[in-house]
Structure 1
Amino acid sequence: MRFATARYDGAEVTGVVRDDRFHPVAGTLLELVRAQRLPQAGAAALADPGIRLENLQLREPLQPPTIRDFVAFEEHVEGMTGGRVAPEWYAAPTFYFTNPYAITGPFDDVAIPPGCRKLDFELEVAAVIGRTGRDLTPEQAREHIVGYTIFNDWSARDLQSAEMKVGLGPAKGKDFATTLGPVLVTADELDEHRDADGFLRLRMSASVNGELIGHDLLSNMGWPFDELVAYASRGTEVRPGDVLGSGTCGNGGCLGELWGRADRADPPALRPGDVVEMTVEGIGTIRNRVTAGTDPPPVRPARKRPRDR
């Protein structure tokens, strides 16, 4: 099934999307995931005639309690690092936590964050956790994934580059916007795309102002989602509604990768008015327009503190 959240008649409503109609269900998507009632609620909703999708404004499918974003595509790492992939990348999947309060809808405008001059997109797919698990095996982890959605990890490359020189981060370079949508596709819907090694062979593409920038296959990940979820659960819990991003795909999944390969900012960084569109086979399309941001107040440099004891 395909679940979405939409604004209708002044309220946000969750429902099942089938063809060109939206069939409302009671409760939010996160509530249904936590109660493990998605299949039952979806089946009951389809008995209703529903609402035409064209009369709705789709929002982000859910508000996740946590968001982990991995870096699972070797080709992306090569582009961002000048071809130098650290041995540690091959040893285990790496991720960072990003801001769950900065989720934007699949067709929302996205403002350039304060102080940013090099805004970038990142084309990803995310898995959504359906039930609590800890210290999972990959085989167990697959059963904990309730579905998948498109994930755009917007990045302020200049802010990110500066703050990571401190040996920590990313922070303000990443926490201003993450786009999810347009729907949550339940895991069973994509099983036909799964290869013998557990990877989902889905076509992915990103364009800016109608010009194709990059395209890849989700199956080019270094690890399938089962292993990412299992790793995330080591020594801790994954819980219903948690979102785990694949990391940016290769072959132009972001501008930063292309800049790294060409050693110049071509195509240019995103500017106000640019429209970023991402499509993933079996999931759908998201489309966001970049808008001007606010001017930040100046940041006072750290004082040179005394060393008195």
Structure 2
Amino acid sequence: MRLARWSDGTVVGEGFVVGDRVVPFPDGQTVADILTGGLDAAHAAFGRVGGESGTALAAVRLLAPVVPASVRDFVAFEEHVEGVSASVDGKSEVVPEWYQAPTFYFTNPHTILGPDEPVAPPVTERLDFELEVAVVVGNAPGVGEANLTAAQAASRIFGYTIMNDWSARDLQSREMKVRLGPAKGKDFGTSLGPWIVTADELEQYVDADGFLAIRAEVRINGDLVGEDLVSNMGWPFPELVAYASRNSRVVAGDVLGSGTVGNGGCLGELWGRGSTIPALREGDEVCMTVEGIGELVGTVGAEVAAPSPPSARPRSRARQRS
């Protein structure tokens, strides 16, 4: 099953993509409702409306397929870490701590973009994309939200979508020298889409070690610049979800990105390896294709200048008011 959100120019619809048509959920349900009900709710809803005619997919504009409760973005591909560390930090390395646990950061759920929706970047000289596959969390009978085992976490994976983590590498580099972030180098836009493919649709691609062995490719203005197997990530998706739940909670509607695939999943990695491909500019088209999921296209819009931040003021470090 494929779940989507769309606009016909007047109202937002939410439902299934069936062939070349979109069919609303029964009883006015939303994607959020279906995620709360889990895969059983999705199958029940599909059984009620799967045969309806719906509306031609070409007659609507797809939106981001979920309004995320939160967005965690992992860094699960060793090859990506090797390349992008040289680009951002000037030194190609994978620190020992990377191997110990699947690290992530939280990004902005309020700047989510849908398919074909232009990104409005900050003023930057090093605008980049990041090709990722993301898990969308749903509920599962009898499975909680905190301290999940990998097996429990697997049952909470409702489906998958494509994720483009737009990145301003120059801003990111400055921020991360302060040992926090990324923040303003990332939080201006994340594209999701084109829809959510339910986990059962991709079970055929799960290898003997539990990794999702699907191909992912990215093109800039039609030219292939990166390709990888998603199974090259250091941890399978259930282990990412389990780690996210550790001493915390994962809830229906959470989105967890895999991190950028290797072998050209972003320009930052390629720059770190000596590539001269230029940074993205206004008008560039980034097309991501992931086997079993579909295609996510994003274009670069005009930069948006923001007020300059003030510099820190020298302080006396006095311990008493004068």
Q: Is the TM value for this pair above 0.5?
A: yes
Measure the CA separation in 1 of the matches of 2:304 and 2:107. Answer: 21
Partner of 2:252: 240
**Following TM superposition, by how much is the alpha carbon of 1:19 offset from its aligned partner in structure 2, in angstroms?**
1.4
Contact 1:28/1:62, CA 8 A, preserved across alignment: no
Q: Residue 179 of structure 1: which of 165, 177, 191 is its match?
A: 191
Partner of 1:205: 217
Partner of 2:56: 52
Q: Residue 299 of structure 1: which of 285, 294, 309 is its match?
A: 309
Q: TM-score, normalised by structure 1?
A: 0.97
Measure the CA separation in 2 of the matches of 1:20 and 1:41. Answer: 19
Q: Give a deviation string over 1:203-244, Cα, whole Å, max 9, x none.
A: 100011001110000111100001101111111111001001
Contact 1:105/1:181, CA 8 A, preserved across alignment: yes
Partner of 2:181: 169
Q: 2:130 matched to 1:122? A: yes
Measure the CA separation in 2 of the matches of 1:242 and 1:133. Answer: 11
Alpha-carbon RMSD: 1.1
Contact 1:126/1:245, CA 8 A, preserved across alignment: yes
Q: Superposition pairs for residues 61-80 of structure 1, below 5 Å? A: 61-80=65-84
Structure 2 SS opposite 1:35: helix
Q: Residue 27 of structure 1: which of 26, 29, 37 is its match?
A: 29
**Following TM superposition, by how much is the alpha carbon of 1:298 offset from its aligned partner in structure 2, in angstroms?**
2.1
Q: 2:4 matched to 1:4? A: yes
Q: Residue 154 of structure 1: which of 149, 152, 166 is its match?
A: 166
Q: TM-score, normalised by structure 2?
A: 0.93
Partner of 2:89: none
Structure 2 SS opposite 1:124: strand
Structure 1 SS opposite 2:252: coil
Partner of 1:103: 112
Measure the CA separation in 2 of the matches of 1:160 and 1:241. Answer: 27
Partner of 1:136: 148
Structure 2 SS opposite 1:135: coil
Q: Residue 220 of structure 1: which of 232, 245, 248 is its match?
A: 232
Measure the CA separation in 2 of the matches of 1:30 and 1:96. Answer: 23
Q: 2:295 matched to 1:285? A: yes
Structure 1 SS opposite 2:35: helix
**Following TM superposition, by how much is the alpha carbon of 1:42 offset from its aligned partner in structure 2, in angstroms?**
2.1
Worse-superposed segment, 130-139 or 145-154: 130-139
**Following TM superposition, by how much is the alpha carbon of 1:134 offset from its aligned partner in structure 2, in angstroms?**
1.3
Measure the CA separation in 2 of the matches of 1:43 and 1:270. Answer: 44
Measure the CA separation in 2 of the matches of 1:294 and 1:254. Answer: 22
Q: Any unmatched runs of 5+ in structure 1?
A: none
Structure 1 SS opposite 2:309: coil
Q: Give a deviation string over 1:8-35, Cα, whole Å, max 9, x none.
A: 2511111111211111112221122113
Q: Residue 268 of structure 1: which of 271, 278, 286 is its match?
A: 278
Q: Residue 40 of structure 1: which of 38, 44, 47 is its match?
A: 44
Contact 1:119/1:271, CA 8 A, preserved across alignment: yes
Aligned length: 306
Contact 1:181/1:286, CA 8 A, preserved across alignment: yes
Bigger strand share: 1
Percentage identity across aligned positions? Answer: 56
Contact 1:123/1:151, CA 8 A, preserved across alignment: yes
Measure the CA separation in 2 of the matches of 1:248 and 1:276. Answer: 14
Paired letter, 2:4: A
Measure the CA separation in 2 of the matches of 1:100 and 1:40. Answer: 29
Structure 2 SS opposite 1:170: coil
Structure 1 SS opposite 2:160: strand
Structure 1 SS opposite 2:243: helix
Structure 1 SS opposite 2:300: strand
